[in-house]
């Protein structure tokens, strides 16, 4: 039985205002640019935390300067027996952030070799999922969130955003890289944000 069949509730997602606040607070803070890029990637591509921290420079750029529109994943949660690599496509906003981020890495003296980690810690080692979760919690607090989310909520938010924009569950299935479309149908369930939008205009 799929997750969509087991659950009766829609997945927890960040609201539009929360997503904007998260990107704003990280983008404006001098120590937040790396995390701003990570959050933009998560919201724009529905990548899981393990997939994000596994990215190398060569996965997004052949030379450390020019950014690819398609990101090929070497490490991902395999949903089938198909050994073919999985790909995600970068939205425009994320594409330009990564271009700027590579220049930022170069100025800081970080390696832009194809096999170098795209995201590193202060100790210049590959960022871990634990550190990513801690950073996400910190930035939520700095953004003044009323409630805190798990990092996986970013993936849910990405898929929900795409369904809201396209109303095409097959497109969302490709974005999420789900083998079974029944798993994807959970994103067609109205979210808290959808309900909020609907009731705000009601007469009271």
Q: What is the DSSP string of 92-106?
A: HHHHHHHHHHHHHHH
Give the whole-angstrom CA distance, residue 145 versus residue 160: 19
pLDDT bin (cut points 50, 70, 90) of residue 39 is very high
Which of the two residues, 5 and 108, has the higher pLDDT score? 108
pLDDT at res. 135 = 97
Rounded average pLDDT over 183-200? 78
In this prediction the pTM is 0.87
Cβ–Cβ under 8 Å, residues 192 and 13: yes
Smallest Cα–Cα separation from 33: which of 82, 89, 103? 103
Highest mean pLDDT among 70-84, 130-144, 183-197: 130-144
Give the whole-angstrom CA distance, residue 164 versus residue 192: 13
Domain boundaries, the chain: 11-195
pLDDT at res. 190 = 73
Give the whole-angstrom CA distance, residue 150 versus residue 48: 11
Is the pLDDT at 195 greater than 80? The verdict is: no
pLDDT at res. 10 = 73
Q: Which of 74-83, 122-131, 191-200 has the lowest mean pLDDT?
A: 74-83
In 44-116, DSSP assigns E strands to 70-73, 86-89
Cβ–Cβ under 8 Å, residues 37 and 127: no
Task: Choose the CATH number for 11-195 among 2.70.70.10, 1.10.443.10, 3.40.309.10, 1.10.10.10.
Answer: 1.10.443.10
Cβ–Cβ under 8 Å, residues 38 and 31: no
Smallest Cα–Cα separation from 102: which of 65, 70, 69, 73? 65
Rounded average pLDDT over 73-86? 64
Rounded average pLDDT over 180-187? 91
| Cβ-Cβ contacts under 8 Å for 9 (sequence gap 6 or more) | 189
Is the pLDDT at 76 greater than 80? The verdict is: no
Which of the two residues, 11 and 8, has the higher pLDDT score? 11
Smallest Cα–Cα separation from 155: which of 138, 170, 175? 175
């Amino acid at each position: 039985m799929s997750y969509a069949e087991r659950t009766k509730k829609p997945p927890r997602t960040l609201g539009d205002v929360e997503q904007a606040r998260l990107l704003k607070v990280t983008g404006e803070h001098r120590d937040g640019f790396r995390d701003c890029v990570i959050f933009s990637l998560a919201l724009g591509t529905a990548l899981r935390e393990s997939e994000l921290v596994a990215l190398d420079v060569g996965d997004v750029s052949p030379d450390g300067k020019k950014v690819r529109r398609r990101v090929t994943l070497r490490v991902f949660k395999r949903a089938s027996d198909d050994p073919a690599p999985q790909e995600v496509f970068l939205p425009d906003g994320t594409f330009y952030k990564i271009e700027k981020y590579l220049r930022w890495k170069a100025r800081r003296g970080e390696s832009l070799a194809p096999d170098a980690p795209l995201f590193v810690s202060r100790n210049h080692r590959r960022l871990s999922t634990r550190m990513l979760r801690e950073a996400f919690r910190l930035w939520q607090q700095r953004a003044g969130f009323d409630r805190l989310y798990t990092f996986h909520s970013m993936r849910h938010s990405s898929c929900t955003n795409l369904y809201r924009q396209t109303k095409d569950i097959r497109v969302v299935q490709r974005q999420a890289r789900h083998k079974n479309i029944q798993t994807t149908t959970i994103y067609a369930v109205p979210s808290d944000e959808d309900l909020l939008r609907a009731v705000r205009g009601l007469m009271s």
